[in-house]
Amino acid sequence: MIGDDGSGAGFDALTGAGSGAPEGPSPQAPPPGIRTMGATSSSAATIVLIRHGEAVCNVSGICGGPIGCEGLTDRGRAQVAVLRERLAETGELAGADVLYASVLPRAVETAGILAPALAGIGADGSVGQPPGIVEECGFCELHCGEADGLDWSEFSVRFGNPDWDADPGRPIAPGGESWTGFVNRVADTLDTVAARHPGELVVVACHAGVVEASLLAKTPVVGGLTGARMQLRTQHASLTTWEVDGGRWTLIGYNDGAHHLGSEGVGATTEGVTPSGRSWMSVGTGERID
């Protein structure tokens, strides 16, 4: 009988939460067909997506593909350094098996700053070598084609103002991706990486669009791979964590930026205006090309 006496056999037990105490699951756990959360297997991959810090193209209002991306701002480097300090203190990603980055400079720079905190710790307390950076274009922000390097006012003059919420299949510009094509590309990349690293800890320095695409592709949201955007506000230098086991993707955490709290001038949200007059947010932006 599922009780309501605080013994851990109440409704929370359906998710495997038990009492929430560290002792472990309730001895009166419901059967597997009812539970929504099972134990993690040794074959499960953990994939941590980390959005890059504030970038020059974010602040200047430039479409930041390979041409337009000039790496991080000083503030962006400080944001990533705060995250590195957290990871070094907690050791939560120590011993990462692989460190991926999109090929765009802002992501590669982010990965380089974080790498020392991903090194393994030996039994004697010695620190090992951090993982090398594996650049993977599949983790890039939406490919912007001929829009690369334009500011948003120039973009609007040349290519109009596509509405991806109404037509997610429209390419951003000649030679560029549509929103739907981008989400599918990220989904394929995630599947490939998960299959390549069973049972391993995978860290990825990437982009807000990649984080959102992962949620569209790997959670049962309306529209899924072909739907419109979720219009999330993913913070710079934040963590989104997935667990992948037997093709099943479980979201462990989204937009974890707690390390920025109290970091004046680094984590606080700041609004500004691009040259085209569009508003931007240096932390938590809703812009896709970032």
pLDDT tens track for 164-200: 888 999 999 999 999 999 999 999 999 999 999 999 9
Its sign, for the CA torsion 221, 223, 227, 231, is negative
Q: How many CB atoms lie within 10 A of CB 31?
A: 6
Q: How many CB atoms lie within 10 A of CB 78?
A: 19
pTM of the model: 0.80
The CA distance from 3 to 200, in Å, is: 38
pLDDT tens track for 202-254: 999 999 999 999 999 998 766 666 666 777 889 999 999 999 998 999 999 99
Q: Reading across the β-sheet that carries 248-256, which strands appear in turn? A: 133-135, 98-101, 201-206, 45-51, 239-245, 248-256
pLDDT tens track for 43-83: 899 999 999 999 999 999 999 999 999 999 999 999 999 99
Q: How many CB atoms lie within 10 A of CB 230?
A: 16
The CA distance from 241 to 253, in Å, is: 5
All structural domains of the chain, each given as residue ranges with its CATH number in brackets, are 1-39 (no CATH), 45-281 (3.40.50.1240)
pLDDT tens track for 131-151: 999 999 999 999 999 999 999
Mode of pairing for the β-strands spanning 133-135 and 98-101? parallel
Its sign, for the CA torsion 202, 183, 81, 250, is negative
